[in-house]
Amino acid sequence: MREFSSHQAAGTHLAPVAHFERELFEISERIARLTLALDVEITPHFIEDVLASRHLKPLDHEHNHGELRALLVMHFEIVTHAVDTLGDTVTFSLLAAVETHLATRGFDLTAFSFLHFRHE
């Protein structure tokens, strides 16, 4: 995977920023791929159902639902840890960079942006 970190906010070290950015990108990319495989759209309702282990599609994709649930939990834990470590401004900047990088890889992020807490 190529390095794509370009963020270094005042008072933060590049290593933790790059670490969080890499983790968020890798998890976000896997979530995006799974949602394509499952043919689902990430919405607040969908996330709630997945986290509550309610299936929205037939159970033939149960393994993928379990993996998606685990990835969503990890994603939210990493975002929480990033906010605690780097602050919300830097974290939101990282999420925007991750979203941009996913878009350059061809992912349609219209529905996915909820996961990255896009603020208009």
Look up tokens 């976000």; give the residue: 28
Residue 31: C-alpha distances to residues 34, 74, 111 (Å): 5, 11, 12
Any idea where the domains of the chain sit in the sequence? 16-116
Q: Which two tokens stand for residue 84?
A: 């605690």
Residue 29: C-alpha distances to residues 3, 4, 22, 65, 87 (Å): 15, 14, 11, 16, 23
Question: pTM for the complete prediction?
Answer: 0.74
How far is residue 105's CA from residue 78's CA, in Å, rounded to a whole number? 22
Q: Assign 80 a pLDDT band (cuts: 50, 70, 90).
A: very high
Overall average pLDDT of the 55-70 stretch = 68
Determine contact, residues 38/64, Cβ cutoff 8 Å. Answer: yes
pLDDT digits (tens, 9 = 90+) for 6-51: 444 444 456 888 899 999 999 989 988 888 888 877 777 878 877 7
How far is residue 41's CA from residue 111's CA, in Å, rounded to a whole number? 6
User: What is the sign, positive or negative, of the torsion defined by CA atoms of 102, 107, 109, 112?
Assistant: negative
